[in-house]
Structure 1
Amino acid sequence: MKQRISVFLNDKERKPILKIIKEAIVFWFVKKELPFFYFGKFLYRKNVTNYTDYLSSKEVDEITLSKKMHQYQYASILRNKLSFAVYMEYNGLPVPKLIGYNLNNTFFYKKKGVSVTDTKELHSFFSTLFETEMKDEIFIKSIKDMGGNGCFLVRKDTLKKQLEKYGDYLLSNDCIYQEVVIQHDDINKIYPHSINTLRFDSYIDKKGTIHILSAFMRFGAGGSVIDNGSSGGYYLSVNMEKGVLSGETHQLMKYGGNKLKAHPDTEVVFDEYKIPFFEEACELIKKAVIYIPDRIIGWDIAISNKGPVIIEGNDNNSFITPDIAYGGYLKHPLFKEIMNEVK
């Protein structure tokens, strides 16, 4: 909370205080809730004039909890990363290869499960896995956690040290292990240490037509292998017509809320940067929705040198980041239809 207050008080792009108070009251009245999102989404900044076009927490809940937008049989595939990986591989969609997984202290590899009780046995398991798969690194992520939580990269040459750090977590949680995506060279130029993903929001209208509402792209920084905004990364809008990055970055308030024109590590300028295989990524989203026809899904897509790769899908999208990146989702022509249907 102190960090958020500090960001607000020191924000040079802040509107005059009286104007902020007036707008916060209007937001409170229109949205019928305390104006936390008015401040949390930086609607107090001078460049934001359409602040009532941004979603309130109540409106977000109406969408994410709507039985018209989400069905259990589809949401259950999306939320369980093991089910998702197996299902997508089975249907021939491009996802990182599933190497193994563990359910608590039972570890599975090549259809065989073994009990692992301590970090010594864990080291033996992963050493065998690295040697057999002939891999130098493996990406591990929690089957159920979100927002970059429970995600880490394990390397063969530093395995012992990393298991000292992550071993207890692995032994008491459920995780999957996947092949590391080889990121496209043009994306690596911006930031090479994380898989920097595009987030697409798909929507199936009442007639069954699949739409892509918007897209934004996330980037890690400072050596982090996680690009997620909830882990401190940066994100910015994508121009859907041109397939390029657009404008400056956004960052969650608790991490500083920084707006940057270039990546802080590589100094590559974001605006108008061409995204490789963007059209192919859009086509992949529409194909994936056929296999998981939940009506609103947030898709995370990586770009490899060979094309787009599906990292995961989310039925419980918070809509905080896409709402900010889009500049107020309620101004989207399809969102009026969505909100009318969920109410």
Structure 2
Amino acid sequence: MQAINRTKYFLYYLKELDYNKFSKFLNYTCKLTGKSKFNIILDMINSTYKYNVGIMDYFQFRFFEKNDLEREKWVGTGYKYEFDLKTNPKHTRSILENKLEFYEVYKDFIFHPFCKLEDIKNKNSEADAVLTNKTGKMVLKDSLGQCGYDVEIVKTSDYTLESLASYMSSKGYDMAESFIQQHDHINKISSTGLNTVRMFTVINNTGGVDLIGARLRVSVNSHVDNLASGNIACPVDLNTGKINGPGIYSDITKEDVTHHPVTNVQLIGFQIPMWDKVIELTKKIALAHPENRGVGWDIAITNDGIDFIEGNHNWCKTLWQLPVKKGMKDILDKYN
């Protein structure tokens, strides 16, 4: 059964593969290691079956530089998919998959105005609150979008409720929300996008909340902060809220950075504001619906407080592991 499942996974990886990025990573790896493309691809295929990792995991986790014992430690795409099915069953995860559902269910943790396309068409108070918000900007989204795709930031002054409804319908957006002005201190790192904290939580066997990691996602000339969009991520000390390692890219051809590549702000040692409050509210929101046991929470920190953006049932194992430069399968094994 395992071989059958991993064959299914491998076919899925091939179907979803970004072949341009694959070619780029393959050429880089061959040049770096001196190995042929044939040998790298053969090792990659073997790894997908043996270690339950994806094709791109092989490159991003730098398996081409690791021995068997080191490879075994990493959480790959297949393992994470199976973990998510156990911790966030399909019949409970819709409140995390759909951003509109998330905002309704977790409204006590969300403080910026938001509305549905239907609200805009009906010209109700929720739509007015978004269109008249004090930042002068709003974010248009597909409520089922992931990785920062299907997101657009526009000026409120450019639209009426009628024209906004028409534009959103034409683009496939079904929700709008106020632009969130991040904390002045965080804005110093990068002002091009909202730089969010990703907190990883798992409900343990006694019903408590385990914090298993924290990362700061930082935009690099981008209006989103996702690794997949070419931005960087930094490890954060859970005890202090300070960045304690360099910023990393998911692009293996790029070097780690100790300073932001555009603003030159030093990353290591940077103190995230209101850290005690981040910890407190993360534990509270994780317990609000404990039927979803393992969640990656995206958190905006503003001058006025903490604002939750979304919860991810299929949180990124790359964002979790790459910034700390080690595989952490042993942590998740405790919850299986």
Q: TM-score range by the shorter chain?
A: 0.7 to 0.9
Using CA pairs below 8 Å that are at least 6 residues apart, which structure has the higher relative contact order?
Answer: 1
CA distance in 1, matches of 2:77, 2:248: 19
TM-score, structure 1 normalization? 0.77
CA distance in 1, matches of 2:126, 2:49: 57
**Structure 1 residue 139 displacement after superposition:** 1.9
CA distance in 2, matches of 1:9, 1:49: 25
277, 285, 289: which one pairs with 2:286? 289
Structure 2 unaligned blocks of 5 or more: 1-18
Would you tell me which structure has more helix in proportion to its own residues?
Answer: 2
TM-score, structure 2 normalization? 0.79
Residue in 2 aligned with 1:61?
81
Which range moved further: 226-235 or 184-193?
A: 226-235
- Specify whether residues 329 and 203 from structure 1 end up closer, same or farther in structure 2 by C-alpha distance, changes over 3 A only: farther
CA distance in 1, matches of 2:171, 2:22: 33
Residue in 1 aligned with 2:246?
248
**Structure 1 residue 329 displacement after superposition:** 4.3
Deviations 1:94-114 (A, max 9, x none): x242342215994553278xx
- Specify whether residues 111 and 336 from structure 1 end up closer, same or farther in structure 2 by C-alpha distance, changes over 3 A only: closer
Alignment of structure 1 residues 1-343 onto 2, 5 Å? 1-7=19-25, 9-10=27-28, 14=32, 17=35, 27=47, 30-31=50-51, 36-44=56-64, 50-66=70-86, 69-72=87-90, 74-89=92-107, 92-93=108-109, 95-103=110-118, 106=121, 109-110=124-125, 130-131=131-132, 133=133, 136-157=136-157, 170-171=169-170, 173-222=172-221, 224-253=222-251, 257-293=254-290, 294-330=292-328, 332=330, 334-338=331-335, 341=336
**Structure 1 residue 182 displacement after superposition:** 2.2
Contact 2:130 2:176 in 1 (8 A): no
Contact 1:142 1:150 in 2 (8 A): yes
CA distance in 1, matches of 2:65, 2:123: 50
Amino acid at match of 1:233: N
- Specify whether residues 206 and 5 from structure 1 end up closer, same or farther in structure 2 by C-alpha distance, changes over 3 A only: same
CA distance in 2, matches of 1:139, 1:145: 13
CA RMSD after TM alignment:
3.5
Kindly, what percent of the aligned residue pairs are identical? 21
Contact 2:80 2:317 in 1 (8 A): yes
CA distance in 2, matches of 1:240, 1:105: 40
Amino acid at match of 2:131: F
SS at match of 1:148: coil
- Specify whether residues 7 and 249 from structure 1 end up closer, same or farther in structure 2 by C-alpha distance, changes over 3 A only: farther
**Structure 1 residue 195 displacement after superposition:** 0.9
SS at match of 1:216: strand
CA distance in 2, matches of 1:336, 1:246: 25
Deviations 1:121-171 (A, max 9, x none): xxxxx8x9635x5651112222111111121211135559xx89x965543
Amino acid at match of 1:39: F
- Specify whether residues 14 and 156 from structure 1 end up closer, same or farther in structure 2 by C-alpha distance, changes over 3 A only: same
CA distance in 2, matches of 1:236, 1:317: 16
Deviations 1:262-314 (A, max 9, x none): 11110011111111112211111100012121100010011111322111101
CA distance in 2, matches of 1:71, 1:168: 35
Residue in 2 aligned with 1:115?
none
Contact 1:139 1:178 in 2 (8 A): yes
Contact 2:117 2:175 in 1 (8 A): yes
Would you tell me which structure has more strand in proportion to its own residues?
Answer: 1
Residue in 1 aligned with 2:12?
none
Aligned length: 312
Structure 1 unaligned blocks of 5 or more: 113-125
- Specify whether residues 264 and 45 from structure 1 end up closer, same or farther in structure 2 by C-alpha distance, changes over 3 A only: farther
